[in-house]
Structure 1
Amino acid sequence: MRDTFPLLENTDFPPIRRRRLDTLQMNLGYLCNLACIHCHVNAGPNRTELMDRATMATALAVVDRFGIGTLDLTGGSPEMNPEFRWLVEQARHRGVRVMDRLNPTIMEEPGYDWVGPFLAEHDVEVVASLPCYSKENVDAQRGNGVFEASIAALKTLNGLGYGKGDPDRVLNLVYNPLGATLPPDQNALEFEYKRLLADEFDLHFDHLFTLANMPIKRFGAILLSKGRFEDYMTLLKNSYRRENLDAVMCRDLISVDYRGRLYDCDFNQMLGLPLGKDSSRPTLADLLDLDEPPRAIAVADHCYGCTAGQGSSCGGALT
């Protein structure tokens, strides 16, 4: 797989700095039951990298030290990490908000029927991937049978009280474009999702997040193989909106990989671009020696993906 980082490293993206540390985004490992073409993590069933309990315990110590309010758990499929339940229980015991970036098909896999009831028991906010309301588009992006499995899992979550306006049972869906285009207007698309999913499947959710595809890892390699990389970067740069800079997620977040190494966002993590471009490659343990979070943020050309059009972050559109 071709690495796009050499094409992104030299950048004219404007410098930005961290304001505070509200969210610790933890990648619990790259193991996943799917291998989606848009995946910027290059996750899949054959990946073996998983965060251990000791690293999770250090993360919780960082949460305590800085008064972090949100743990944002991602992967791969974070639930496939054997320590997932322990981490969630420890965080919720502290009163920390927990978000699970759920690939809903995991709930349909043998041995994972516990996922929905566990999330509901601990009031975990669910951010579930459903890149389109069309079966053909979802299966083209994620694999045959994924759409039906996703719908079944999301209906299970509805049955547990998710997606019906309860602030303790929040269900958000995530949309990614099928190819090298920007997401459409988030509010308009959310309206269509809600109408069509309710009419077709009696399925309900709270919010839709639209995310741009990042020109890195698996999606970046596909762009290169099809000769579309430069065109996509031109689209991102031409669609840059300066007002999005104030709301990009890295201003309030630090990303942690399965080894406990620190990055400014999950995308930088996948590029191996360490926190603030610090050559010492800082870790969670290093944060425990600080009185305040690091301010410097490492940027490269892929950052245009977060600031193009409406903007794109792990929480959806920025404007």
Structure 2
Amino acid sequence: MPSPTATTSLLNRQSALSIPQKQLELLASVDLERLPAEGSFAQHLRDSGWQEFTPAKLEIFQINVGKLCNMTCRHCHVDAGPDRRENMDRQTIDACLQALDLTEAHTVDITGGAPELNPHFRYLVEQCVVRGKHVIDRCNLTVLMLPTMHDLPEWLAEHGVEIVCSLPHFRQPNTDKQRGDGTFEQSIAALHRLNAVGYGMGNPKLKLTLVSNPVEATLSCNQAAILEQMWKEGLRENHGITFDRLIAINNMPISRHLEWLEQSGNLQAYMELLVNSFNPDTIGGLMCRHTLSVSWDGRLFDCDFNQMLDLAIGDNSADKSTANAENHLHIRDFKPQLIADRQIITGRHCFGCTAGRGSSCSGAIAD
């Protein structure tokens, strides 16, 4: 069964925005001077009482095992796709495990691309489970329909892995619009497979979480409880699907979503919406404060979004023209105290996480 295609990767099209610095320059070019703090995220932090923006206790070890994916969704902030061959090797995975052993992180969040396509995915999961860690697999659902993945739902259930899967909407048109024709049909088939092995039935050891991203240049819905109930009723009544939790995440103005915003004429309005919706109550719970992000090649980042903009820990600046690759921290050189003492790198893209009720890999931040 072929995988749906919504677009092609920026890299495949040789787009200027495939270069992280070009994305940062485009974001910097948006005129936000008339907005609060002139659109400066750093100033918003200071105005909210955060003179220094430093991490809290490390709780989540997020590992991006590669950009290879069976899909090329229109909103993808990773610019993942079948043409992206970057994959974390076994040596780097072992370095991640060695670093994990030096922390008190309770959760390992495995993402991609489609993380299941990394040849060492199952090894990484097994090693994290042996260590007593809660493991999250960020799954695009359609990957479970590939012939080589037929046994994966049962295998994940046997290892107690939480499945966090992307489904833009519980109706076909909105999902296929963002992720490609045929996505919804395959996603429903994959959800049936997950339900069949016990996921989404209320068992805390087999949690099935759905993730919704807005289709257009809007924020994720603030009515989380109402939205979740709507999704549960829609999927149960129309498809016989059950799941445990729904989280809504804002689309970040980077990578392919940034391209769409610019080409559709929505970039200015969307950035204004994000800045004007800044919520200081979200700051303490931002994922960059309690998560460490590891890239496929082992470099360390404050979060997955900084990773895609190549704002590595050690740069200390969103100005990539002055960044020094020699300063980048690598997982093989991991030192807990060095990570704890760092200053978190921020930029205009960070407004995507602080708008409205906030947005993180776990959904809304503020009540």
User: Which residue number corresponds to residue 6 of structure 1?
Assistant: 25
Give 3-state SS (helix, strand or coil) of 1:277's partner.
coil
CA distance in 2, matches of 1:66, 1:275: 17
Question: 1-side partners of 2:62 and 2:293: how far apart?
Answer: 5
1:219 alignment partner, one of 257, 262, 266: 257
Q: Which has the larger radius of gyration?
A: 2
Does the 8 Å CA contact 2:41/2:351 hold for their aligned counterparts?
no
* Aligned residues of 1:181 and 1:232 also touching (Cα < 8 A): yes
Select the residue among 117, 139, 142 that pairs with 1:80: 117
1:176-215 superposed matches below 5 A: 176-184=213-221, 185-215=223-253
Matches within 5 A, 1:1-319: 1=15, 2=17, 3-8=22-27, 11-13=40-42, 14=45, 16-184=53-221, 185-275=223-313, 277-278=315-316, 279=324, 280-288=327-335, 290=337, 293-319=340-366
Ranges of 4+ aligned residues in structure 1 off by more than 6 Å: none
Q: Distance between the aligned counterparts of 1:188 and 1:277, measured in 2?
A: 42
**Given that residues 194 and 205 in structure 1 are in contact (C-alpha distance below 8 angstroms), is that contact kept between their aligned partners in structure 2?**
yes
How many Å separate the matches in 2 of 1:190 and 1:88? 29
Alpha-carbon separation, structure 1, partners of 2:218 and 2:209? 22
Q: Aligned equivalents of 2:99 and 2:292: distance in 1?
A: 11
Once the two structures are TM-superposed, the CA of residue 276 in structure 1 deviates from its matched residue by 5.6
Does the Cα contact within 8 Å between 1:276 and 1:298 map onto a contact in 2? no
Q: Which amino acid aligns with 2:194?
A: L
Q: How many angstroms does 1:292 deviate by?
A: 6.0
Give the aligned residue type for 1:4. Q
2:103 and 2:95 map into 1 onto residues whose CA distance is: 13
Quote the offset at 1:164 in angstroms: 1.0
Paired residue type of 1:92: V
CA distance in 2 between counterparts of 1:242 and 1:197 reads 35
- After TM superposition, the score normalised by the length of structure 1 is 0.97
Letter of the 2:95 counterpart:
T
Letter in 2 for 1:188: I
Residues 103, 336 of structure 2: 8 Å contact kept = no
- Structure 1: how far apart are the matches of 2:185 and 2:272? 36
**How many positions carry a matched residue from both structures?**
319
* Change beyond 3 A, Cα 1:88–1:35: same
- Whether contact under 8 Å (1:264, 1:276) holds in the other structure is no
Residue identity over aligned pairs, in percent, reads: 44
Report the secondary structure of 2:40's partner residue.
coil
> 1:281 is matched by which residue type in structure 2?
H
Paired residues of 1:30 and 1:75 also in contact (CA < 8 A): yes
Structure 1 gaps of 5+ residues are none
Quick one: which amino acid aligns to residue 329 of structure 2?
P
Aligned partner of 1:269: which letter?
Q
| C-alpha contact 1:18 1:296 (8 A) present in aligned 2 | yes
Superposition RMSD in Å = 1.5
Shift of 1:291: 6.8
Deviation at 1:202, TM superposition (A): 1.2
User: TM-score with structure 2 length normalisation?
Assistant: 0.84
| Deviation at residue 227 of structure 1 after TM alignment | 2.2
Asked if the contact 1:244–1:311 (Cα under 8 Å) also holds between the matched residues in 2, the reply is yes
